[in-house]
Amino acid sequence: MTRAFTFPGQGSQAVGMGRELAEAFAPAREVFDEVNEALGENLSKLMWEGPQETLTLTENAQPAIMAVSLAVMRTLEKEGGFRLADKASFVAGHSLGEYSALAAAGAFTIADTARLLKRRGLAMQRAVPVGEGAMAVLLGLEFDQAMEVAAEAAQGDVCTAANDNGGGQVVVSGVKAAVERAIEIAKTKGAKRSMLLPVSAPFHCPLMQPAADEMAEALAGTELKAPSVPLVANVTASRVADPATIRELLVQQVTGMVRWRESVLYMEAQGVASFVEVGAGKALSGMVKRIAKEAETLSVGTPADVEAFLKTL
């Protein structure tokens, strides 16, 4: 069966994440130690003890979510002899999950990935003063309808689709007043529900250009190898393996839309029948199931998940 391995983005963080993995498997502990050392701080203590509001800060949530995903991957490799290149046709990640996917495929080291995501989180937070931007999820509208809502709500401000998650779930991002207008307009267009998201900045929209510029500099100074498995990129919804192109797409991703629905459909069209979500939570599996209704979905994030998955190999 042709498989794709997917890696979650921000929102999957929770106090206690990864702790059971670290207690059960030495390879997982190694990853958390590597991340702590790379960042020069005890991120795993924050992940396991909280407080939640500090963990949720973008600069902490991004490397934390990556750490759990890579702890799972390292455990699969060391405990079960798993090799991603032998078992996957593609890797893909939702927003920051793209960095996790690339690290899993050997394009980045774990230490470099942690440093890049810490800087990415800080840069995205700095790009727009707190309170000036916002994001909202529009539920029950198809993508074209959501784009029309965003365009109508803009009124000269930035308001655009940030995440096309499929299944009638589209996230818009931009200036707070415009996003609030989009919520009201969506209600008149038949949205089942529309609401602001509890985020500290308007991600994946043109307001993030200062962060994109900073990440261009950071990525230029970081070694990036060809991944062992092709990446399906957020901004193109198609495969890429060339390091120079990946670098460019990671910069574009900061301001560009996460084309998740199209990415899943692309992988399905290439013969993928099984999607394995690696890391904290099960949000991506739910999204995939709404898009590729016939596909098998698995979530591997706990010791029990790891043991069950290894039995399938």
44, 95 Cβ separation under 8 angstroms: no
Q: Read off the amino acid at residue 3.
A: R
Q: How far apart (Å, rounded) are the C-alpha atoms in residues 211 and 74?
A: 30
Residues 246, 228: Cα–Cα separation, whole Å: 13
Q: Which two tokens stand for residue 255?
A: 């301001």
Q: Which amino acid is at 216?
A: A
Residues designated catalytic: 95, 204
Strands 169-175 and 133-139: antiparallel
Give 133: exposed, middle or buried? Use CB within 10 Å, 0-12, 13-18, 19+: buried
Distance CA 103, CA 196 (A): 32
Alpha-carbon distance of 108 to 120, in angstroms, equals 15
CA distance linking residue 264 with residue 99, whole number of Å: 18
Helix (H) / strand (E) element for 119: namely helix 110-127
